[in-house]
Each structure stands twice: as structure tokens, then as C-alpha cells.
């Protein structure tokens, strides 16, 4: 994977301005891509684009392969005549500065169902229907089970599969056949909705490429318990006879939480994955590399060892590290994908030398967060700009961090840090970087632009200079996350021009690949 002194912006699709209650494919994405060009940026980083699950989190999806229906462009479906202007008016009253999932999901889901029904009823003589049939054939390996799972889940009032009656809970050929007999129309509608997602995203990818913009996607290392993958292929996970996890994923106490993070995802049965030649991982990465140009793999250290928490434990404190076959996995993936294996390794947290060695063995860029450079962690020095090497993707912060402005002005009430630690970090940041701190977000952006990191990513909230009101996610919590949205006009012409000028002055995003100054 080659990174060539480029920079870009982190903002999920849901955060885009849009009149229909959530950022979506179609004109909102096209407008954003044009703004990316205006700002002189080449990389657009998004969050996972699967259906969201518990807490509206894109990292707790009911499918590793399906697309999030909430991202489908309602405007595009109106243009295609599958929906009418009057029908979609129900979305116009939703907030413009936040995603109100509790209101959005039922309204938009009903509209998508209506559009799918009309497509199946009236679209059979169209070229689109021929593409739909090819889509169903090409994606059958995941689409068939996903459509059955989604249809049964709807029938069971969205309860998790492990609370379904045994006739549905226990996946089998008979179970699938029963669903196809009882729910044939709903199953087909689910497939059409996934077809809408694929068609629209392919168009968006082409438009991004036409503008010279790369899409950096994201996949979680683990999958949700309430997912079609766990329901349909239990042998790949550490579960008991009832399908409940015996151990779950998380991380030990760290910068974010004194008790660690108990994510609750079932853990892989890695010996079974190895015996199957990592075929499931091959399918999963093929899907990701089909959606994105580059793929950020969350919690990369989990491919060397992972924090195993007994399922009975309420927190992550009483866990243990267990080994993973990461080298064998990525050797198999390299044989399969060759130079297309464009992975960015999220290698944050406490790392062993084995994690670094695995990443370097395959040439995967690692990540560095400038906010982490000034704390008391023993590895904090590795986040200082002078420690960056070219094969690095550096950030002011990520979706899991507070904004730069809020972090810098924190008095100790917004994190685990004491007031004394906050002040010490603040003074170290100013003295080490040689900055006054009057516009801390721009000063840190400019520091990164002059660094030797091959790629830089700035959360759009840091470009805007927002405080904690712009935060996307607080790890370990479930309330009010993933909702932030960019307001129309919030990125002013002056801000866009400033970022463009700073980027070009630093030698970034130039076709010559000029090395940054400093």
C-alpha cells in the first residue's frame, strides 16, 4: 500500500447535511466530494457502513456484509420514481443538526419497503431489474442468509436472534426454507434494499474517483452477537450449546476507562478459522475492498492477541490476553489479494513488539493520534510528530476522541484526567510544539501537515474548531453517540480556503508527491 504525503477528512456519511434527517448517498455525497476538492483534500474517511445495531453503533452491526439502509439516498429513489415527493415529506420535519434515530429509522424503513415493493412489482422489464438479478446471483453467499435473518428479525419485533423461538433460533436448511415459505415477499424486499445500497454506493465511488478522492473505510475486528454471521455459522465463534458467548471481547483498563471496555462481542474460534483456510475472512475483506480504496481495520492488535473476558464478568477488569494467528491470516490474505490488500492498522493502545512486527511484516501503515502525545502513558512519545515515519496515518483525533478544542481546554471533568494532569498536558503540548494555543485546532493541524507522516486525517469537527458538542462517540457509553451532523454552510468559504492553502503550502496532495517541509 502506497501513501504519498496525502491528507483528508474524517466524517461519516450520516453526518452530511441533508434534508431527509440523515446524511445519505446522492446529492449530499456529491456536494461533500466537491467540498473536499475545494479544500484540497484527497482522502475521505468514513465509519463502518453496515446496518447499525445496539446504541446505533456502526461497530455493532447485524451484518458484516450488508449495507446500512439509512444511508440509501431517498432523493435518488424519488428521481427513479420509486417514491413520490409527498410520501417522503414525512422526513422533512426531522432535525438538521443531529440524527434522531428513534424517529428516522421507522419512517425511512417504511419508505424503503414501499420503494422495494414497487421495484419488484413494476420494475421487471427495466435494465435495473436485470442488474438486480445479477446482484442476487453474485452476492448470494451473504445476501440469502442476510435477507432471511432480517425478515425473521422483523417478524420477531426486532428481538435478538438468541431470544427467538427455537424454530428460528437454530439456523438450518429447514429453518431457511420455512422462512422462504412464510416470508417470501419480505425476503425479496430486503434484497432489493441491499441492491439500492450497492447501486448508489457504486455511483458515489465513481464520482469520488473522478475527483481524485480515495475512500478510507473501516471494519471492526469483531462482530456483534446479534448478527447473521453468528446466527448462521456458530462454529466460527466461542459459544455454548445455546449460542451464547462463553467469553467476550474488550480491552483492559486504559486511557479511556478505569475498568476497561467490555464490548461484549463473541470471540472467534481461531483454530476453526485456520482449519477453514480463513475463508470467512477472505470473503469479509473482499467485501470491504470492494466498497473502499483503503480499509482501516479496527483493533489491529487483536490479530496478535486479544483480551478475553469471561461472559459472566460485568466489566473488562478480569480478563486475560490470548493469542491470535494474525501472521497466518494475513499471509493467506496476501496470497489472495496481493497489492490490493490496502489495510491501515489501528494499532493504538498498549502494544507489544509482536504487534509492531506483524504490522511491519506486511507493510501496513499504523496510526498516530497527536492528542495522545502529551500524556503520562509510557508510549506517549511515539505520538509526537518527530517520531512519525512515512508509513503512518496521523490524526488530530478520531471518532472516539474528544475534539482538539475540548481536549485542550479540559479542566478534568470531561475525561479520566485530573485537573493537574490536564494542565500539565496542556503546557507540555504548547512548549513541545512551540505554539501559542490561541487557535489550538489549527495549530495542531498545521503541525501535522509539516510532519513526515505519509497520510493525515482531520476530523471535520477539528477543522471547525468545535468543542465537546461536536463529539461523535464516547467509548464505553451508549447514549447520544453517532448523532452529530454538519450544518449547511458550517464549513465557510474562509475555512475551506484556509485548509486548502495550509495543505498546499506543506506540499501535501500534490501530484508530484512532494515531501512536506519541516
C-alpha cell recorded at residue 458: 482531520
For strands 455-459 and 392-395, give the pairing.
parallel
Q: Count CB atoms within 10 A of the CB of residue 476.
A: 17
Q: Calculate Rg over the CA atoms of the chain.
A: 23
Quick one: which of 264, 337, 332, 283 has its CA closest to 303? 332
Secondary structure (3-state) at 326: helix
Quick one: which of 163, 181, 134 has its CA closest to 226? 163
CA dist 288 and 217 (Å) reads 8
62, 226 Cβ separation under 8 angstroms:
yes
Quick one: which of 61, 74, 159, 64 has its CA closest to 116? 74
> Looking at the annotation, which residues are catalytic?
298, 346, 400
Quick one: which of 110, 123, 120, 118 has its CA closest to 188? 120
CA dist 426 and 405 (Å) reads 11
Q: Chain centroid to CA 372: how far?
A: 21
H-helix or E-strand spanning residue 147: helix 140-155
Locate cell 447535511: which residue? 17
Quick one: which of 371, 428, 379 has its CA closest to 395? 371
Within 8 A by CB and 6+ apart from 273, the residues are 236, 280, 281, 325, 329
Dihedral sign (CA 461, 208, 65, 239): negative
For strands 305-310 and 320-323, give the pairing.
antiparallel
Which phi and psi angles does 249 have, rounded to 5°?
-90, 160
Inter-CA distances, 497 with 41, 395, 491, 511, Å: 11, 20, 10, 19
Q: Chain centroid to CA 438: how far?
A: 32
- Give me the residues paired with residue 247 across strands: 310
C-alpha cell recorded at residue 149: 435473518
Amino acid at each position: 500500500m502506497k501513501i504519498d504525503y496525502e491528507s483528508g477528512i474524517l466524517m461519516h456519511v450520516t453526518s452530511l447535511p441533508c434534508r431527509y434527517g440523515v446524511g445519505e448517498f446522492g446529492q449530499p455525497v456529491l456536494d461533500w466530494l466537491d467540498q473536499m476538492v475545494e479544500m484540497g483534500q484527497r482522502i475521505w474517511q468514513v465509519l463502518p457502513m453496515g446496518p447499525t445495531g445496539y446504541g446505533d453503533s456502526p461497530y455493532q452491526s447485524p451484518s458484516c456484509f450488508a449495507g446500512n439502509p439509512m444511508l440509501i439516498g431517498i432523493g435518488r429513489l424519488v428521481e427513479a420514481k420509486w417514491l413520490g415527493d409527498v410520501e417522503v415529506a414525512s422526513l422533512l420535519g426531522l432535525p438538521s443538526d443531529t440524527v434522531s434515530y428513534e424517529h428516522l429509522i421507522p419512517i425511512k424503513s417504511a419508505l424503503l419497503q414501499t420503494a422495494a415493493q414497487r421495484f419488484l412489482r413494476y420494475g421487471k422489464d427495466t435494465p435495473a431489474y436485470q442488474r438486480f438479478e445479477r446482484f442476487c446471483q453474485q452476492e448470494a453467499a451473504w445476501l440469502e442468509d442476510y435477507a432471511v435473518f432480517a425478515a425473521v428479525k422483523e417478524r420477531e419485533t426486532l428481538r435478538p436472534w438468541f431470544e427467538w423461538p427455537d424454530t428460528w433460533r437454530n439456523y438450518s436448511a429447514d429453518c431457511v426454507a420455512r422462512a422462504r415459505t412464510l416470508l417470501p415477499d419480505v425476503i425479496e424486499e430486503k434484497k432489493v434494499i441491499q441492491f439500492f445500497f450497492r447501486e448508489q454506493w457504486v455511483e458515489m465511488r465513481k464520482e469520488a474517483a473522478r475527483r481524485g478522492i480515495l475512500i478510507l473505510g473501516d471494519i471492526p475486528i469483531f462482530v456483534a452477537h446479534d448478527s447473521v454471521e453468528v446466527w448462521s455459522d456458530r462454529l466460527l465463534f466461542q459459544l455454548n450449546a445455546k449460542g451464547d458467548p462463553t467469553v467476550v471481547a474488550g480491552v483492559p483498563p486504559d486511557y479511556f476507562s478505569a475498568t476497561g471496555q467490555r464490548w461484549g462481542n463473541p470471540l472467534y474460534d481461531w483454530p476453526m478459522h485456520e482449519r477453514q483456510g480463513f475463508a470467512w475472512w477472505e470473503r469479509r475483506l473482499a467485501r470491504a475492498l470492494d466498497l473502499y480504496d483503503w480499509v482501516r481495520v479496527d483493533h489491529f492488535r487483536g490479530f496478535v492477541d486479544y483480551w478475553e473476558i469471561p461472559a459472566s464478568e460485568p466489566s473488562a477488569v478480569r480478563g486475560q490476553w490470548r493469542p491470535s494467528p494474525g501472521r497466518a491470516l494475513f499471509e493467506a490474505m496476501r496470497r489472495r489479494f496481493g497489492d490490493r490488500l490496502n489495510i491501515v492498522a489501528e494499532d493504538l493502545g498498549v502494544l507489544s513488539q509482536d504487534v509492531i512486527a506483524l504490522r511491519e511484516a506486511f507493510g501496513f501503515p499504523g496510526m498516530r493520534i497527536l492528542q495522545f502525545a502529551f500524556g503520562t502513558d509510557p508510549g506517549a512519545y511515539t505520538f509526537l510528530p518527530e517520531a512519525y515515519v512515512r508509513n503512518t496515518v496521523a490524526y488530530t483525533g478520531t471518532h472516539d476522541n474528544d475534539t482538539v478544542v475540548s481536549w485542550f481546554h479540559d479542566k478534568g471533568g470531561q475525561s479520566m484526567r485530573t485537573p493537574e494532569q490536564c494542565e500539565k498536558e496542556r503546557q507540555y503540548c504548547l512548549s513541545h510544539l512551540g505554539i501559542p494555543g490561541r487557535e489550538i485546532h489549527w495549530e495542531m493541524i498545521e503541525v501535522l501537515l509539516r510532519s513526515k507522516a505519509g497520510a493525515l486525517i482531520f476530523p471535520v469537527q477539528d477543522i471547525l474548531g468545535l468543542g465537546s458538542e461536536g463529539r461523535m462517540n464516547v467509548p464505553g457509553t451508549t447514549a447520544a453517540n453517532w448523532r452529530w451532523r454538519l450544518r449547511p454552510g458550517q464549513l465557510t468559504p474562509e475555512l475551506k480556503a484556509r485548509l486548502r492553502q495550509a495543505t498546499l503550502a506543506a506540499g501535501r496532495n500534490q501530484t508530484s508527491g512532494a515531501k512536506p517541509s519541516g
